[in-house]
Structure 1
Amino acid sequence: DSVFRYKGRETDAKLVGRQLGVRSIFKARLTQRGDTLDISAELIDVQNDTHIWGQQYNRKLTDIFALQDEIVKEITATLRLRLTGEAEKRLAKRYTANPEAYQDYLKGRYWWNKRTKEGLNKGIEYLQQAVAKDPTYALAYDGLADCYSLLAYYGFVDSKEGYPRAREAALKALEIDDSLAEAHTSLVFVKTFYDWDWAGAERESQRAIELNPRYATAHQWYGDALIQMGRLQEAIAEEKRAVELDPFSLVINRDLGDALYLARQYDQAIEQYRRTLELDPNFITVHGGLGAAYLHKSLYKEGIAEFEKELAISPHSAYALAGLGYANAVTGRRAEAQKLLDQLNQLSKQEYVPAVFRAQIYAGLGEKDQAFEWLEKSYEDRSIANLAEIKVDPQFDPLRSDPRFQDLLRRMNLPQ
């Protein structure tokens, strides 16, 4: 994700190296003519802007995987690197021999990273094409798992529809290759946000990190699981490690902001959200997170403005409507909050709307009975953990002293 942002741009090697915190960068230009690839590749030392290695290739598209091996061997020979047996195996491993399936996989992951309803559905289309072309392509099944999970997490589909599909795809990936860190990580997400199996989520996280310590999403989603459990300092450490591994990932930067916000480190959270918005001012849910941090610092005007920006970016988003509704509720604008509740109710007649979003607004209004009514519905539809960390989220503070809240945590298997 960090490297993909430079795709198609003219870049300065020194600047890129400094931004990524690396000593050398690999640059390549690829031109496809029919089934033929022309590739110009070079390795540059960014400290002194010198050329370490370079080569040009003309290959058939079907030879792309063999070419990858050839380039790796030439670079390691040039640098006189001595790779461990484990590193050699990882570099040599090929998840598919079908170049078209590989391209579909890359396109699927690209759209998955958008985190929008359209992007996730587009990702599923490409990933389904990938597994149709290669039914043994474990990474493509794993990509499907992550798309299905995020459709449910963001409230685009019913949790009871999205997460079981995600689990099935992740288990299929592990059936093909049980050493796939990505697939163990995908199970972490399902166990966290749907099963509420905290021990299972931690076990799968540790296995994923053991298999690939440099897989940023494994640290990110382990952090997300730790947040739900209330282990906030451990969560922040995992999210920071994920940012170190993938410093330009929008969603990983956002999740670090979320962890800081939920730990009530509001100034640090605001700084992190702003840093994320510098990368992309329109990335979903970041303005909402920033707005919530402002509200809890009693910066009400700034908070509402950020939620309004979130809604402007995603005008039909239940998350954005609920966030602005909550902001209006806690700042005493009850009529505006009620209008947004009405909009959510109307939207729910056309598409799935997670019950937890309405609970959020009622909590802001101080209407406890209605808040608990909708929390109970969100417990039943398994949406209660989606975009809501009920154990630690300050938005639910008005409900914490009520015995019904502690009973809810108990039924979610959360420590009280």
Structure 2
Amino acid sequence: MTLPASVMIADVELDVERYELRRGGRQIRLERLPMELLILMASRSGQLVTRADIVRALWGGNAFRDTDNGINTAIRKIRVALGEDPENPRYLLTVKGKGYRLDAVQASCAMEPPIAPPSPVRVLVLPFENRTGDARQDNFCDALSDEISGNLGMLNPEQILVIARTTSMCYRRTTRSIAEIAHELGLDYVLEGSITRDTGRVRVRAQLVRCLDQAQVWGGAHEMTATDALDIQKTAGTVLADEVLPALAEQQRRMLARRLPIDPSAHDAYLRGRYYWTRRVHFDAGFAAHHALNAEDFIRARGYFETAIDRDPTYALGYVGLSNVYGATAAHGFYASSQGYPKARETALRALELDAGLPEAHQALAGVHYFYDWDWRKAEAEFIEALRLNPNHGETSRLYARLLLVLGREAEGRAQFERAEKADPLGFGGSRLFGLVQAGRYGEVINEFLAAGHGNRSPLVYQLLAIAFEVQGRYEEAVDATVDALTRCNEFARAESIRTVWEAGGYSAVLQWYLQDLLTRRQKGYTSPLLFAEIYARLGKPDEMFHWLDIALAERSPRLCELRTNAWFHPYRATKRFRGVERRVGY
């Protein structure tokens, strides 16, 4: 059963989306484990939930933990929260020798809800059209629309929902009308623009269109200098705010202005750097490192971010960009984490020093706490602060969702993935599939892909499919997905080599080929020890796997933060030795 966002259990409201329990509008404190169990039982309203079901859902089927006492304690705390008499419960019933049943669950709409605030206005910034005849401006056009989206999304997140960049990119050079796009995404406004060349001078044009009646509510054209590119962002943001939020506070306008640098050329460099960073970061880092996908996009991004800071040393977003690159390149396996994450921390802190209210800076620092410090408490605090400042920042929700899944808080993690989906409806698929892989739901990943058909999907989708197919023993399809992913990354030679090895010797030969490739690469330069631990896990060689895990722990390999949800280690999780490794990571 799909659980609604909010349900009633007698006179108690369970708000799944907010992860809260309330009676009469007042919050009832309930710890994480009892809350997860309550959500599970509410989703099975009136049906038996066995103790085995509970162990699988809350502990991943780990019978080595003291699950009996844990279940009994959680049941007792739930009954206290519901105001039940433990000796004569009315709602949470024990079925002796079987499990439990939760009665009296109904949709919360049965109660008179408080007057809800109006739904946020949905806005899409289309990729700016490059009409200059200069293909070098394509990247700037894309990045300009991306940055405008980010700026508008911060104006008033409770009342303006700006659809994220990934979805916007799906409509590049589209033949669909604004009415058709609005219908597909449920939009209220579309901002579209173009860059043209006229007698040697470049001009930027933009217009804000109200989808209801296709009326243009604002339009502007400016000479294409970096200063005027910034003016486009300021003007579009101000006009949109005046159109849909007449009471927008001056403080919010100042917040938008603060994101822009003193030197316009710094902003130009930042936009170009963000384009290359975004293009590469939406890969599975493990797949990218395993197949040695090149670092060209990261290198370009870093160069542009450094240029932005050189032009304006007070530009906080430039430091955020550098922090992102330093962390991502370590996570993608280009060098040891000790070479990247200290710099990622330093630049994130510098960004916060310049602008403590910058959500991207809080997210960057959260990434350092998550991937390098393995400090879940600090990472969560920074994620929460970033989302407080900009609830519509999909990237923060996606990464926070991964942390929540690692901590076993699957219901909260799903809520964050759903939150990201609202901000990025078309680009979210690959990220949500990543969440399903993390949660061990490999069959769902495959079924969802097969149901959607083989369209023009992102490399990430095929990278995740390769994992799901291999875990389920569907090796030919795993090879096909790997080849598709590599082909979409322009790694044609490697894709062909893997296909040839598969046809000659089957999947065991493919895994051995991967191992030999790693050994060869390690002789030439840095190769993450976690990659060796993963390949030995896939080969079924635990001694070698634990040897390399020890080296990865000593090095603080970034992806160890997701050791618990790493598909390749699932067969070993119940062993005492592996639980010792988990404890060293901090679980």
Relative to the length of structure 1, the TM-score reads: 0.86
User: Structure 1, unaligned stretches of length 5 or more?
Assistant: none
- Asked if 1:184 corresponds to 2:362, the answer is yes
Match of 2:526 among 343, 352, 363: 352
Q: What residue number does 1:147 align with?
A: 325
Match of 2:571 among 390, 393, 398: 398
1:379 deviation in Å? 1.2
| Alignment of structure 1 residues 150-229 onto 2, 5 Å | 150-229=328-407
Q: Is the 8 A contact 1:65 1:97 kept in 2?
A: no
Partners of 1:315 and 1:59 in 2: CA distance:
37
Partners of 1:172 and 1:78 in 2: CA distance:
36
Q: Which runs of 4+ in 1 moved over 6 A?
A: 274-279
- Asked if 1:307 corresponds to 2:485, the answer is no
Partners of 2:316 and 2:559 in 1: CA distance:
28
Partners of 2:331 and 2:216 in 1: CA distance:
45
Query: 1:35/1:158 Cα in 2 relative to 1: closer, same or farther (>3 Å)?
Result: farther
Q: What residue number does 1:57 align with?
A: 221
Counterpart secondary structure, 1:217: helix
Partners of 2:326 and 2:451 in 1: CA distance:
28
Question: One-letter code of the match for 1:55?
Answer: G
Q: What residue number does 1:268 align with?
A: 444
1:25 deviation in Å? 0.5
1:261 deviation in Å? 1.8
Question: One-letter code of the match for 1:18?
Answer: H
* Bigger mean CA deviation after superposition, 212-221 or 37-46: 37-46
1:20 deviation in Å? 3.6
Partners of 2:488 and 2:188 in 1: CA distance:
37
Q: Is the 8 A contact 2:205 2:220 kept in 1?
A: yes
1:11 deviation in Å? 4.9
Question: One-letter code of the match for 1:286?
Answer: V
Q: Is the 8 A contact 1:14 1:46 kept in 2?
A: yes
Partners of 1:384 and 1:404 in 2: CA distance:
21
1:152 deviation in Å? 1.0
Q: Is the 8 A contact 1:29 1:39 kept in 2?
A: yes
Partners of 1:345 and 1:34 in 2: CA distance:
58
Q: Could you tell me the percent identity over the aligned residues?
A: 29
User: C-alpha root-mean-square deviation of aligned residues, in Å?
Assistant: 3.2
1:200 deviation in Å? 0.8
1:312 deviation in Å? 4.3
Counterpart secondary structure, 1:42: strand
Partners of 1:126 and 1:15 in 2: CA distance:
36
Q: Is the 8 A contact 1:111 1:123 kept in 2?
A: yes
Counterpart secondary structure, 1:264: coil
Q: What residue number does 2:46 align with?
A: none
Question: One-letter code of the match for 1:309?
Answer: D
| Alignment of structure 1 residues 8-407 onto 2, 5 Å | 11-31=176-196, 38-48=203-213, 50-59=214-223, 61=225, 62-78=227-243, 81-85=246-250, 87-115=252-280, 117-249=295-427, 252-270=428-446, 281=457, 283=459, 285-313=460-488, 333-383=507-557, 385=559, 389-407=562-580
Question: One-letter code of the match for 1:304?
Answer: V
Partners of 2:453 and 2:535 in 1: CA distance:
25
Question: One-letter code of the match for 1:257?
Answer: L
User: Structure 2, unaligned stretches of length 5 or more?
Assistant: 1-164, 281-293
Q: Is the 8 A contact 1:356 1:384 kept in 2?
A: no
> Quick check: which one's strand share is greater?
2
Partners of 1:253 and 1:177 in 2: CA distance:
32
* Bigger mean CA deviation after superposition, 174-183 or 273-282: 273-282
Partners of 1:170 and 1:276 in 2: CA distance:
39
| Alignment of structure 1 residues 402-413 onto 2, 5 Å | 402-413=575-586
Partners of 1:273 and 1:89 in 2: CA distance:
44
Counterpart secondary structure, 2:206: strand
Relative to the length of structure 2, the TM-score reads: 0.62
Counterpart secondary structure, 1:363: helix
1:218 deviation in Å? 1.3
Question: One-letter code of the match for 2:484?
Answer: K
Q: Is the 8 A contact 2:276 2:297 kept in 1?
A: yes
Counterpart secondary structure, 1:230: coil
Partners of 1:35 and 1:106 in 2: CA distance:
23
Q: Is the 8 A contact 2:398 2:417 kept in 1?
A: yes
Query: 1:34/1:227 Cα in 2 relative to 1: closer, same or farther (>3 Å)?
Result: farther
Question: One-letter code of the match for 2:269?
Answer: D
Structure whose CA Rg is larger: 2
> Quick check: which one's helix share is greater?
1
Q: Once the two structures are superposed, what CA deviation does each residue of 1:237-268 show, in whole Å capped at 9, x if it has no partner?
A: 2122112212344xx53232111122232343
Partners of 2:551 and 2:211 in 1: CA distance:
55
Query: 1:345/1:129 Cα in 2 relative to 1: closer, same or farther (>3 Å)?
Result: same
Query: 1:272/1:140 Cα in 2 relative to 1: closer, same or farther (>3 Å)?
Result: farther
Q: Is the 8 A contact 1:230 1:391 kept in 2?
A: no
Counterpart secondary structure, 2:357: coil
Query: 1:405/1:352 Cα in 2 relative to 1: closer, same or farther (>3 Å)?
Result: same
